[in-house]
């Protein structure tokens, strides 16, 4: 079965492929988009139509599509050593990558535990925290705090860390210990701190302390925070937030996990988002951009202190994943980091991020645009029914607007991005880090046309 024509592919996709987080019925009367190739910040479908990849696939394609150096690195590694596990063995690509990541990571985060995905990284960090505290004589610490509406993955443990009730209910009971704290959505800050971002910052950080005290400090293992929270539409941290959270974590002996599955590898103009905001976490979880998607890889980078109890006697971290730190993925990640250096990818983000922001800010003149927020190459545009009151759409309107119109209309107009209503309705943008002003302008023009039309449909 070769399935070479678009029609054959379409029919087979409808019959055999199960898309993720996708209503399958959405394609009863329409085609499943089939993307066949990519070049730079653009991808092409099976009919040859071009799209600007405004979401880097899924926050993944940092250096853009079609980079043959990474394909060649994969091919070379697969020819030399396609697979060997990290269970009791090492292989050069994983060793080199671990060393390079340790060099790039802040503070004394020097030890790398590889996984294959972000969910596994989040889950691994929780397992490490639990076993670490047992070895350190604090066996009661198992709970993890994370923020409202934050997404941290889909495996059972990662889902327990996730703050999105709507995607959890069907899978309960989940592992116990997930506790929610407020996020840093200043646009919808509670009234008593809504006029002062510094007060808001103190309040949001102190809510973490209050939660630790409520739960009992001896029962809390870790706090999971993204440098900029994705779900809900890009909530950057208010000034001083992470410094205060760091102090709180230190005060109660709680580990700070910086979930950088999206925010690492240049998304915010730095190798790690924690670097941008000037804090040193205990654990960084990463995935996605580490390989720019040319092969799957994830992992966690941990402080020296966290491996300490595992370095003597019979102590063993009782955790492992067959394909973690896969030789091909590790080789691809090394080649990806070479491109970062050679092409000055971080420099491009830093030089152009103000332009990206200014271009998206132009959309504020549209009646449907309530807020434009983010940092680096990572933005959310919140859609509202009334700009003055910030009234949002009810479930029905949101369904009609986002699923019924915007998602298709933006794609049809040639822009890959995400219309998301897991919190308030937002459009998410996270383009490849090679984008420049011409691509921002293209995004703005498409968004302007489609959002203008959307307003007429409300």
Ligand X SMILES: Cc1ncc(COP(=O)(O)O)c(C=O)c1O
| Residue 230 in the binding site for ligand X (CB under 6 A) | yes
| Residue 152 in the binding site for ligand X (CB under 6 A) | yes
3-state secondary structure of 40: strand
Number of residues lying near ligand X (CB under 6 A): 14
For ligand X, the binding residue among 287, 290, 339, 369 (CB under 6 A) is: 287
Cα dihedral 99, 377, 373, 380, rounded to 10, equals: -100
249 sits in which H/E element: helix 241-252
Least distance in angstroms from the C-beta of 112 to ligand X: 17
Spell out, one character per residue from 406 to 445, where the chain touches ligand X: x when CB under 6 A holds, - when not: ----------------------------------------
Q: State the DSSP code for 400.
A: I
Query: Going along 9-61, which residue ranges are E strands?
Result: 35-39, 42-45, 50-53
Ranges within 256-285 binding ligand X (CB under 6 A):
259, 261-262
The residue number whose beta carbon is nearest to ligand X equals: 118
Of the candidate spans 73-81, 91-99, 150-158, 406-414, the one that interacts with ligand X by CB under 6 A turns out to be 150-158
Pick from 395, 319, 378, 331: which is nearest to 155 by CA?
319
Spell out, one character per residue from 100 to 129, where the chain touches ligand X: x when CB under 6 A holds, - when not: -----------------xxx--x-------
What's the distance, Cα to Cα, between the start and end of the chain in Å? 46
What residues have CB less than 8 Å from 369, skipping those under 6 apart?
Answer: 363, 381, 382, 383, 384, 387, 451
Of the candidate spans 87-95, 254-262, 316-324, 363-371, the one that interacts with ligand X by CB under 6 A turns out to be 254-262
H-type alpha helices, 216-314: 241-252, 273-276, 304-307
Tell me if 44 sits within 8 A of 51, measured CB to CB: yes
Q: How many helices (H) and strands (E) does the chain have?
A: 15, 15
For ligand X, the binding residue among 226, 282, 371, 442 (CB under 6 A) is: 226
φ/ψ bin of 430: left (φ > 0), alpha (ψ from -120 to 50), beta (otherwise): beta
3-state secondary structure of 427: strand
**Nearest CB to ligand X, comparing residues 65 and 152:** 152
Least distance in angstroms from the C-beta of 123 to ligand X: 9
| Residue 255 in the binding site for ligand X (CB under 6 A) | no
Ranges within 153-172 binding ligand X (CB under 6 A):
153
Of the candidate spans 146-154, 172-180, 204-212, 300-308, the one that interacts with ligand X by CB under 6 A turns out to be 146-154
- List residues near ligand X by CB under 6 A: 117-119, 122, 151-153, 226, 230, 259, 261-262, 287, 298
């Amino acid at each position: 079965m070769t399935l070479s024509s678009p029609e054959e592919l379409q029919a087979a996709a409808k019959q055999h492929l199960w898309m993720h987080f996708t209503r399958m019925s959405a394609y009863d009367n329409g085609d499943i988009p089939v993307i066949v190739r990519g070049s730079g910040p653009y991808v092409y479908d099976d009919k040859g139509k071009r799209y600007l990849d405004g979401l880097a696939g899924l926050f993944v394609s940092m250096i853009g599509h079609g980079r043959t150096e990474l394909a060649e690195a994969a091919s070379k590694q697969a020819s030399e050593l396609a697979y060997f596990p990290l269970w009791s063995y090492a292989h050069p690509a994983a060793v080199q990558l671990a060393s390079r990541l340790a060099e790039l990571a802040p503070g004394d985060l020097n030890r790398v535990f590889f996984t294959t995905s972000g969910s596994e990284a989040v889950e691994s960090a929780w397992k490490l925290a639990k076993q670490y505290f047992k070895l350190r004589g604090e066996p009661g610490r198992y709970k993890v705090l994370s923020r409202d509406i934050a997404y941290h993955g889909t495996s059972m443990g990662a889902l327990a860390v996730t703050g999105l009730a709507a995607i959890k209910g069907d899978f309960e009971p989940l592992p116990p210990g997930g506790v929610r704290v407020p996020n840093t959505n200043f646009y919808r800050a509670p009234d008593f701190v809504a006029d002062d971002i510094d007060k808001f910052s103190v309040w949001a950080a102190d809510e973490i302390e209050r939660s630790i005290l409520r739960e009992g400090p001896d029962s809390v293992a870790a706090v999971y925070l993204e440098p900029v929270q994705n779900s809900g539409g890009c909530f950057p941290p208010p000034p001083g937030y992470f410094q205060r959270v760091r102090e709180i974590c230190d005060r109660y002996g709680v580990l700070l996990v910086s979930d950088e599955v999206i925010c690492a590898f240049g998304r915010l103009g730095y190798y790690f988002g924690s670097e941008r905001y000037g804090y040193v976490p205990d654990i960084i979880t990463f995935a996605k951009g580490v390989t720019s998607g040319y092969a799957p890889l994830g992992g966690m980078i941990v402080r020296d202190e966290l491996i300490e109890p595992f370095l003597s006697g019979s102590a063993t971290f009782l955790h492992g994943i067959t394909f973690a730190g896969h030789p091909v993925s590790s080789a691809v990640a090394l080649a990806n980091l070479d491109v970062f250096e050679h092409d000055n990818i971080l420099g491009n983000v830093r030089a152009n991020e103000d332009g990206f922001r200014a271009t998206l800010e132009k959309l504020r003149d549209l009646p449907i645009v309530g807020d434009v927020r983010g940092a680096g190459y990572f933005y959310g545009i919140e859609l509202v029914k009334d700009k003055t009151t910030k009234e949002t759409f009810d479930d029905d309107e949101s369904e009609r607007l986002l699923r019924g119109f915007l998602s298709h209309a933006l794609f049809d107009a040639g822009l890959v991005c995400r219309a998301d209503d897991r919190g308030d309705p937002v459009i998410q943008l996270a383009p490849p880090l090679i984008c420049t002003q011409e691509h921002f302008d293209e995004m703005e023009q498409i968004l302007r046309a489609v959002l203008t039309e959307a307003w007429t449909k409300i």
